Structure 1
């Protein structure tokens, strides 16, 4: 069906009972981001600013911020430090925050993934968005089990 070099995208949507500005801070404040993803997080949340998320000591996500619309949208490039398949900058993630009822609809779109990488990233975002949801709603998701074991 697809050629090997074609790129796919994955989309996920989740409703979170908190205001967009509360949710937004979980993408731009390293102390908050590290509570739902990674063990060590470095962020420069400005256009062209870099980020580095050390998930478990060996898997390290890196990229840069491309677009930041306060409380509405964040676009960043994404990749893994040592990966040949998804090197840093090779794919793009967009997070859109839309106010809805008494909370925020979070829409994630991950572009430019190779077909073979879609399912592992789908699993990853399912895991992390559930953690983000409970955190932003005031619960404690606890230590990320993935932060203590290598994924690959």
Structure 2
């Protein structure tokens, strides 16, 4: 067992959107791409794969491990071409908890290498806010992270 893969992050956000609606933003690629990435392929079934092309260079890959409609999605997670966190090497859990007419979204990302904790924490904060904006009826706009920055 790799001792470097033992860190977890947990973030919560209240979204004024019922779990029955929010759930589709994790299983429907046309909905997901509105808050994360620029091209997404999803096979939302146990063992089904996913591929999230964030910006043409950063590509997350893994598979669905558990799906409980309107309650929980668990996926393996990692990055194409990243030796320290390859596809499927960590686990990502989204829990959708009904609360006050909306949803408490609880994200837990397990088994992250210590040196990747801060970048993933920053990323999940960024994407959870975009998801909240979108599902509460506003347009989050084009994701600035989806644009490849070229060196001049």
Q: What TM-score do you get using the length of structure 1 for normalisation?
A: 0.95
Secondary structure of the structure 1 residue equivalent to 2:62: strand
Aligned-residue offset at 1:149:
2.6
Corresponding residue of 1:37: 36
Query: For the residues of structure 1 that align with 2:6 and 2:72, how far apart are their CA atoms?
Result: 23
CA displacement 1:96-142 (0-9 Å, x = unmatched): 00000020000000000011110000000000000000011111000
Secondary structure of the structure 1 residue equivalent to 2:17: coil
Query: For the residues of structure 2 that align with 1:91 and 1:5, how far apart are their CA atoms?
Result: 12
Q: Return 5+ residue gaps in structure 1 as ranges.
A: none
Off by >4 Å, runs of 4+ in structure 1: none
Cα RMSD for the two superposed structures: 1.2
Query: For the residues of structure 2 that align with 1:103 and 1:138, how far apart are their CA atoms?
Result: 13
Q: Return 5+ residue gaps in structure 2 as ranges.
A: none
Q: What TM-score do you get using the length of structure 2 for normalisation?
A: 0.95
Query: For the residues of structure 2 that align with 1:149 and 1:123, how far apart are their CA atoms?
Result: 18
Tell me: CA distance 1:6–1:41, structure 2 relative to 1, closer, same or farther (3 Å): closer
| Residue pairs, 1:39-54, within 5 angstroms | 39-54=38-53
